[in-house]
Amino acid sequence: MMTKENNPPVASAVGLTKIFRDFWGRPKAKAVVDIDFNVYPGEVIGLLGPNGSGKSTTVKMLLGLLYPTAGTLSVLGRSPRAVDTKREIGYLPEESYLYKYLTASETLDFFGALFGLSAAERRLRTEQLLEMVGLSHAKRRRVGEFSKGMARRIGLAQAMINDPALLILDEPTSGLDPLGCKEVKDLILHLKKRGKTVIVTSHMLSDVEDICDRVMIMYGGKIRAEGTLNELLTITDASRITTPQLSPEVTAKVLKILRENFGSSEEFQVDHPRKSLEEFFLEVIASARRDSVETAGVVSGGQIAGYLNDDKDSLLQTLTKGEAVPEARPAIPEPAETSRAELEADNIRLKKLTAEAPAKAEPEPAAHQAAEKLAEANDKLKDLLSGK
């Protein structure tokens, strides 16, 4: 790849390892085990893997939030812990750590101030970012009352307030509706066009396939596969010819010719069929399991809890037994093709409908307030425990 020869990596790991230990110093979870990787400028890298495979731990080490047990890691040519490094990174955490009593604008203003931006610059960026993530209508609402998708959007805006060179997004599309997913993907591609480097973790394989240049698939703390989507997914021992729809007569002719010899024609475009990223992902995980690779994460889906199976005739029972379910639903008619303009118009209508939802501040019942206090204390404890 061109970038590899020409530029030093934005992030580079050699033998990177993180072992969590218990109170007595005994190894509790081998979260990341001896991994090497390079991330080059302008790349969008996808970090994939099942739950507990070490993605977030890797991300937290890149951010200097966790200290590696072994190995070396450099980000933007420095230690991830250096203050200068942090200034150039934007981070969307797996769970939002937003202060729930601030409004959307105040949140962005606050983070802008942390980065030392002037008041004028903060105002400008806040306005533009809120517009970009579709939250302009909710700028005066407290983020504590945001829906999951709205919280994700304000988190993304927050990650970009310092116009970072490197963006690290831990599951940016989680909790977003399909429209939101599309917007976030478009946004990431836009940032890539502007020369930003992006590292994303995700469980949404199709999302990753749409935006990433390169993926790394982790399992049990190790990188099990790494490469560009073309490298990983192209089936090189087969060929595919793409043509407009062929009539039976033409098909017969083509087959005749192909049988005679494999001569090519300039009118034909020949490429290789690709398997889906999902297929490939599942293969990698299956082979890791066959090799009995250890994982501290989820191993496989378990059985349905016995007490849930009490109802002998339940649909769940039928499904889990693998019996045929009686055809109940009518066939879904093929949707008519929707034009881009129609989609856009729908999108605008949807935005108008969801905008300005009445948000009267109602006095909260005491129990609710107590629960919030508890949640906040919990958050603080989490931060303390994770060394922040």
Q: By CB under 5 A, name the binding residues for Mg ion.
A: 55-56, 94
The helix (run of H) or strand (run of E) holding residue 93 is none
By beta-carbon proximity to ligand ATP, the closer residue of 52 and 68 is: 52
Near ligand ATP by CB under 6 A: residue from 9, 42, 46, 52: 52
Smallest distance, Mg ion to C-beta of residue 115, A: 25
Rounded-to-integer distance, Cα 236 and Cα 226, Å:
17
SS3 state of residue 27: strand
- How many whole angstroms separate alpha carbon 47 and alpha carbon 214? 9
Nearer to ligand ATP, 94 or 213 (CB): 94
Question: Based on CB atoms, which residue is closest to ligand ATP, 67 or 101?
Answer: 67
Check binding of 172 to ligand ATP (CB under 6 A): no
Nearest to 17 by CA among 45, 54, 63: 54
In the sheet with 222-228, reading across from the earlier edge strand, the strands are: 89-92, 166-170, 197-201, 44-48, 214-219, 222-228
Select the binding partner of residue 31 from ligand ATP, Mg ion, none (C-beta < 5 to 8 A, by kind). Answer: ligand ATP
Binding residues for ligand ATP, total number by CB under 6 A: 16
State the Cα–Cα distance between residues 43 and 40, nearest whole angstrom: 6
**Which of Mg ion, ligand ATP, none interacts with 102 (beta carbon under 5 to 8 A by kind)?**
none
Cα–Cα distance measured from residue 280 to residue 259, given in angstroms and rounded to the nearest whole number: 32
> Is residue 46 part of the contact set for ligand ATP (CB under 6 A)?
no
Choose, by CB under 6 A, the member of 4, 27, 51, 309 that binds ligand ATP.
51
Site for ligand ATP in 93-132 (CB under 6 A): 94
Say if CB 199 and CB 37 are below 8 A apart.
no
For residue 308, the 8-state DSSP code is G
For the chain, the residue count is: 388
Which stretch, 48-56, 252-260, 303-311, 337-345, contacts ligand ATP (CB under 6 A)? 48-56
Taking CB under 6 A as the binding criterion, the range among 25-33, 116-124, 233-241, 280-288 that sits at the site for ligand ATP is 25-33
Residue of 3, 17, 19, 20 that binds ligand ATP (CB under 6 A): 20
Q: Helix or strand or coil: residue 240?
A: strand
Site string for ligand ATP, 296-315 (x = CB under 6 A): xx------------------
Smallest distance from ligand ATP to CB 295, Å: 8
The distance of closest approach from Cβ of residue 49 to ligand ATP in the complex, given in angstroms and rounded to an integer, is: 5
The entry of ligand ATP, Mg ion, none that residue 54 binds, CB within 5 to 8 Å by partner kind: ligand ATP
Adjacent-strand bridge partners of 228: 214
H-only helix segments in the chain: 2-6, 55-62, 83-87, 104-114, 119-132, 148-159, 178-193, 205-211, 229-233, 248-260, 277-290, 315-321, 340-354, 366-385
Kindly list the residues in this chain that would bind ligand ATP in the complex (CB under 6 A): 20, 28-29, 31, 49, 51-57, 94, 296-297, 386
